Structure 1
Amino acid sequence: MRSVNRASKLTIAMSVGVAAALGLSACGGAGGSSASGGDDEVNVLMVNNPQMVDLQKLTADSFTKDTGIKVNYTVLPENDVRAKISQEFSSQAGQYDVASLSNYEVPSYAANGWLSPLDDTVAASSDFDQSDILEPMTKALTGADGKLYAEPFYGESSFLMYRTDVFEKAGVTMPDNPTWQEVADLAAQVDGVEDGMKGICLRGQPGWGQIFAPLTTVVNTFGGTWFDENWDAEVDSPEFTEAVDFYVKLVQDHGESGAPQAGFTECLNNLQQGKVAMWYDATSAAGSLEADDSPVKGKIGYAAAPVVDTASSGWLYTWAWGIQKAGKNQDAAAKFVEWASSKEYEELVAEKIGWSSVPAGKRASTYDNPDYQAAAAPFYQQTEDAITSADPDNPGVQPRPAPGIQFVAVPEFADMATQVSQDVSAAIAGKQTVEEALSTGQGLAEKVSEKYQK
Structure 2
Amino acid sequence: MAGVASAETSLTIAIVNNGHMINMQKVAEAYTAETGVELNWVSLEEGVLREQVTSDTATGGGQYDVINIGMQEAPIWGAAGWIEPLNFGDEYDVEDILPAIRAGLSHDGQLYAAPFYGESSMVMYRKDLTDAAGVTIADNDSWENVKAAAAAIHNPDEGVYGACLRGKPGWGDNMAFITTVVNSFGGAWFDKDYRPTIDSDEWRAAINFYVDLLGNYGPPGSEGNSFNEILALYNEGKCGMWIDATIAASFLEVDGVAYAQSPNAGNPVGANWLWAWAMAIPAGSPNAEAAADFIEWATSKEYVQAVGNHPEFGWGSVPTGQRASTYALPEFQAVADFAKAEMAAIESAAPQATDLKPYVGVQFASIPEFPEVGSAVAQEMAAALSGAKTVDEALEASQAAADAIMQEAGYY
Fold shared per TM-score above 0.5: yes
The aligned residue for residue 272 of structure 2 is: 314
The aligned residue for residue 260 of structure 1 is: 223
Match of 2:27 among 58, 81, 88: 58
The one-character-per-residue Cα deviations of 1:345-383 (angstroms, maximum 9, x if unpaired) are 110111113112212220111111111111212x11111
Quick one: structure 1 residues 166 and 103, their matched pair in 2 at CA, closer, same or farther if it must change by over 3 Å?
A: same
> Quick one: which amino acid aligns to residue 223 of structure 1?
G
Quick one: structure 1 residues 126 and 412, their matched pair in 2 at CA, closer, same or farther if it must change by over 3 Å?
A: same
Q: CA RMSD in A?
A: 2.6
The one-character-per-residue Cα deviations of 1:9-67 (angstroms, maximum 9, x if unpaired) are xxxxxxxxxxxxxxxxxxxxxxxxxxxx97973624221444334333333534662xx
For this pair of structures, how many residues does the alignment match?
Answer: 403
Match of 2:344 among 379, 385, 399: 385
1:75 aligns to 2:34 (yes or no): no
Match of 2:302 among 318, 322, 344: 344
The one-character-per-residue Cα deviations of 1:82-122 (angstroms, maximum 9, x if unpaired) are 3442243223355643222222221221121112222xx21
Match of 2:84 among 91, 111, 116: 116
The aligned residue for residue 31 of structure 1 is: none
Q: Distance in 1 between matches of 2:19 and 2:229?
A: 18
C-alpha contact 2:13 2:40 (8 A) present in aligned 1: yes
Query: What pairs up with 1:140-151 in 2 under 5 angstroms?
Result: 140-143=104-107, 145-151=108-114
Query: What pairs up with 1:42-441 in 2 under 5 angstroms?
Result: 43-47=11-15, 48-62=17-31, 65=34, 68=35, 70-78=37-45, 79-94=47-62, 96-118=64-86, 121-122=87-88, 125-143=89-107, 145-192=108-155, 195-289=158-252, 294=253, 296-297=254-255, 299-307=256-264, 308-311=266-269, 313-352=271-310, 353-377=313-337, 379-394=338-353, 398-401=356-359, 403-441=360-398
**Runs ≥4 residues deviating over 6 A:** 37-40
Quick one: structure 1 residues 260 and 91, their matched pair in 2 at CA, closer, same or farther if it must change by over 3 Å?
A: closer
Quick one: structure 1 residues 283 and 226, their matched pair in 2 at CA, closer, same or farther if it must change by over 3 Å?
A: same
Q: Distance in 2 between matches of 1:72 and 1:273?
A: 33
SS at match of 1:181: helix
Q: Distance in 2 between matches of 1:365 and 1:63?
A: 26
Q: Deviation of residue 311 (structure 1)? A: 4.3
Q: Deviation of residue 452 (structure 1)? A: 4.1
Q: Distance in 2 between matches of 1:406 and 1:312?
A: 8
SS at match of 1:346: helix
Identity between Structure 1 and Structure 2 (%)? 39
Q: Distance in 1 between matches of 2:396 and 2:262?
A: 28
C-alpha contact 1:175 1:303 (8 A) present in aligned 2: yes
Quick one: structure 1 residues 63 and 387, their matched pair in 2 at CA, closer, same or farther if it must change by over 3 Å?
A: farther
SS at match of 2:204: helix
C-alpha contact 2:154 2:160 (8 A) present in aligned 1: yes
The one-character-per-residue Cα deviations of 1:413-443 (angstroms, maximum 9, x if unpaired) are 3333233223222222333321111011101
The one-character-per-residue Cα deviations of 1:369-420 (angstroms, maximum 9, x if unpaired) are 111111212x1111111122222224x651323x222222334333332332
Q: Distance in 2 between matches of 1:170 and 1:56?
A: 42
SS at match of 1:453: coil
Quick one: structure 1 residues 100 and 254, their matched pair in 2 at CA, closer, same or farther if it must change by over 3 Å?
A: closer
Q: Distance in 2 between matches of 1:154 and 1:259?
A: 26
Q: Distance in 2 between matches of 1:97 and 1:227?
A: 35
Long gaps (5+) in structure 1: 1-36
C-alpha contact 1:156 1:284 (8 A) present in aligned 2: yes
Q: TM-score, normalised by structure 2?
A: 0.89
Q: Distance in 2 between matches of 1:50 and 1:199?
A: 24
> Quick one: which amino acid aligns to residue 295 of structure 2?
V
Long gaps (5+) in structure 2: none
Q: Distance in 2 between matches of 1:107 and 1:218?
A: 25
> Quick one: which amino acid aligns to residue 117 of structure 1?
P
Quick one: structure 1 residues 334 and 274, their matched pair in 2 at CA, closer, same or farther if it must change by over 3 Å?
A: closer
Q: Distance in 2 between matches of 1:202 and 1:194?
A: 19
C-alpha contact 1:42 1:333 (8 A) present in aligned 2: no
The aligned residue for residue 3 of structure 1 is: none
Q: Distance in 2 between matches of 1:343 and 1:97?
A: 22
Deviates more, 1:200-209 or 1:151-160: 200-209
C-alpha contact 2:6 2:37 (8 A) present in aligned 1: no
Q: Distance in 2 between matches of 1:311 and 1:419?
A: 25
Quick one: structure 1 residues 336 and 110, their matched pair in 2 at CA, closer, same or farther if it must change by over 3 Å?
A: same
SS at match of 2:90: coil
Quick one: structure 1 residues 449 and 195, their matched pair in 2 at CA, closer, same or farther if it must change by over 3 Å?
A: same
